[in-house]
Amino acid sequence: MATPGLDDDSLQQLRSRATQLLLKENWKEYIAVSSLIIEAFDAAASAAAACKDRRVLCSTLAHRADARARLGDAPGALADCDAALAADPAHPGALLSKGAVLRGLGRYARAAECFRAALAVSVTDEVREMVEQCKRLDAQARSGAVDLSEWVLAGFSGKFPDLAEHVGPVEVRRSAAHGGRGVFAVKNIEAGATLVISKAVAIGRGVLPDAADSAEKMVVWKDFVDKVLDAAEKCPRTASLIYTLSTGEDPEDELPVPDMAQFKQETDELNDGTAMATDSAPNDVDKILKVLDVNCLTEDAAPSANLLGSNGVINCGVGLWILPAFINHSCHPNARRTHVGDHAIVHASRDIKSGEEITFAYFDVLTPVSKRREAARAWGFECQCDRCRFEAGDAIVGQELPKLENELANGRGDMGALVVRLEEKMRKSMVKERRKAFLRASFWSAYSALFDSDKLVRKWGRRVPCEAAVAESVAGAIGGDESVLRAMLRGANNGNGCGNRLEVEDKVVRIGRATYGKVVKRQAMRALFRLTLDADNNKCL
């Protein structure tokens, strides 16, 4: 049937051209060509009445929806799906497209409804898996329960596990300790519990053969900034969330405290963000750049890097995660983040009381206070946590610390002798256990050098606590860390009077929980520990 404005040959040519563009994944051109086809059908109401032409129209709308979704135009994609379903409520392509868009928006329950409807028309294993996936993600979004055991035991390789965004029992409030705003617990939270799962607005990644390759880092940064600006332009909700963050120039006490509903994926009604008001237009490039300067987080290398070893390259990653960006830094943190794909999982690294501010480390805190102060200044703040105040102001150990720090920085001398001097100074000065943990964390590299050397252990081992005891102490100061967990595993394996087997296993699992949270089940964590010990033993052969 000829369509007004286009004869059969012209329409066939357009459809052929559209098919070629789909195969080439040229989404912009496909949208332009498919729009001509759809407009031609719209111009002839009678054309849509014919069964064959209606199927062509619905398929074209569904494909255009896919193309728009690929380019980040979720509202446009949903409008195309709804138009196709208005013409044919059981069109499988439109149902699958709408389900995929809703899944991308975090509306998992509604996405599952679309996939179930498609399953009634076209029964395939792939569609069944889509339904099950949405059910899993919907439960995860509500509970925050994540199980990465299989991925971890596979060596953190293969496809990243599917994750849903989640906001646990936390809220943004005024922070008296850090100034401005911070994230606080709204109820008691046990160690290991998931606090936030947040998908990045954008991430810039690169692999650097040389950590000092600043030119490559600039390429990564530019690519990242372009992605953020593109995301803000396409989605008003994303732009609105970005503008809730500080630019570093606004008076912190005058910044509004955002409503937590902005960060949660609503499951009862669809809100793509187009109705959210914002004081700034999405193209306010200057403001977005200022936001990025003070709110980006470095993407830690794979969580296996220190525990299972690395491949010799340095992963450079920077990203913007909105809600985690409100979490303030502390050198004595109570939370830790793990990066999985484009998601950041924030979990409690120790028990947190209701009303307590949640903090994690912006940089490596297993370093002396002078190095941490340099790192904090690079971020534009002075850390005033209890650990930093003690190390910078304690009159008893304060005179000794600069000397020890200088020896550590220069790598001069016997690291075992340095550790013994520090331990004896703390013992003679009757430093409390909590503060001993702070100092051991600051000189962790010296302790590691001692315990890594059989020669130094034979020489100094009897004058310092056993490796597992030191690791347990340091974990109390900074929460979980792969290098601390490795030391605990090795020390526990060696025994050295660190308690009976059950006590030692409990300590190891506790530090494992602080490191990974509850995303790795206890049985899988034990298997991971065995793999780690086997790897260490093989290195010694």
Contact 343, 198 (CB under 8 A): yes
Predicted structure pTM score: 0.85
- Residue in 376, 330, 380 with CA at minimum distance from that of residue 357: 330
125-178 pLDDT, tens digit each: 999 999 999 999 999 999 999 888 887 777 667 777 889 999 999 999 999 888
Rounded distance between C-alpha atoms, residue 428 and residue 411, angstroms: 26
Rounded distance between C-alpha atoms, residue 37 and residue 104, angstroms: 27
8-143 is a CATH 1.10.645.10 domain = no
451-503 pLDDT, tens digit each: 989 999 999 989 999 898 999 999 999 988 888 888 888 877 765 545 566 67
The two tokens of residue 445 are: 């590299």
> Any idea which fold 149-360 has?
Beta-clip-like (2.170.270)
The two tokens of residue 291 are: 């936001």
Which residue carries 């025994």 as its tokens? 495
State the amino acid at position 159 in one-letter form.
Answer: K
Who contacts 282 (Cβ-Cβ below 8 Å, separation ≥6)? 232, 233, 236, 239
Per-run averaged pLDDT (10 residues), the chain, 541 residues:
57 85 89 88 56 80 93 90 93 95 92 94 89 94 88 74 93 90 96 94 73 65 90 86 89 87 65 40 80 85 39 64 95 92 92 96 92 90 92 73 81 85 89 93 93 91 90 92 85 62 77 86 73 56 39
- For residue 94, the SS3 value is helix
Rounded distance between C-alpha atoms, residue 290 and residue 303, angstroms: 29
In which element (H, E) is residue 1 found?
A: none
* pLDDT, position 314: 47
17-55 pLDDT, tens digit each: 888 888 888 999 999 998 988 888 766 555 444 556 788
DSSP code per residue over 440-474: HHHTHHHHHHHHH-HHHHHHHGGGS--HHHHHHHH
Helix extents (H) in 213-277: 214-234, 236-242
The two tokens of residue 350 are: 């120790």
